[in-house]
């Protein structure tokens, strides 16, 4: 009859190479454990790993969850975070622009006037200039009149 495997158990195997002195040393200790101190090889390995983690810190050995998730794929939560950052940045910029415009209006200056409005105003001013005052237009008109003779 085969041993019953429980759902909450995870099995991990370790391969030891007997031509590697470090592996030979580990194997010697595991195979010759004093049963008065450690009743199972499994518990000895768990205690050794736990000691290592406690002394060096888990962060040293494991990939940070956020970095691991980001490296694998972009999640909908990441997209939502990006949306929030963009909206916040746009809101801050709009707020700054409104404050600048209100400050200009209060002081009676056109400091914060948008570029589009400035361009529209300059085009309107150009159209209101008298075409007859333009030297180029006057020169062309004179040339056409002299050709008609």
Q: What is the pLDDT of residues 65-84, one digit of tens each?
A: 666 555 567 778 888 889 99
User: What span, in angstroms and rounded, lies between the C-alpha atoms of 4 and 133?
Assistant: 104
- SS3 assignment, position 2: coil
- What is the rounded distance in angstroms from the CA atom of residue 110 to the CA atom of residue 100? 10
pLDDT of residue 1: 47
Q: In Å, how far from its chain's centre is CA 88?
A: 15
As a whole number of Å, the CA-based R_g of the chain is: 40
Question: What was the pLDDT predicted at 23?
Answer: 94
**Are 33 and 81 part of one and the same domain?**
no
User: Does residue 26 contact residue 16 with C-beta atoms inside 8 Å?
Assistant: yes
Q: How many domains does the chain have?
A: 2
55/105 same-domain check: no
- Please give the residue range of the domain that contains residue 49: 21-62
Mean pLDDT of 99-126: 64
**Residue 80 and residue 128 in one domain:** yes
Q: Report yes or no on 1 lying in a domain.
A: no
Give the pTM. Answer: 0.38
């Amino acid at each position: 009859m085969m041993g019953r495997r429980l759902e909450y158990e995870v099995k991990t195997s370790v391969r030891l190479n007997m031509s590697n002195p470090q592996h030979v040393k580990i194997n010697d200790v595991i195979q010759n454990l004093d049963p008065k101190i450690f009743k199972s090889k499994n518990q000895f390995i768990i205690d050794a790993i736990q000691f290592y983690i406690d002394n060096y810190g888990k962060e040293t050995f494991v990939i940070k969850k956020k970095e691991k998730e980001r490296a694998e794929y972009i999640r909908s939560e990441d997209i939502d975070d990006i949306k929030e950052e963009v909206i916040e940045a746009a809101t801050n910029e709009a707020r700054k622009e409104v404050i600048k415009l209100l400050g200009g209006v209060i002081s009676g200056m056109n400091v914060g006037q948008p570029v589009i409005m400035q361009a529209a105003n300059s085009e309107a001013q150009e159209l209101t200039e008298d075409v007859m005052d333009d030297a180029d237009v006057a020169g062309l008109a004179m040339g056409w009149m002299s050709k008609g003779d």
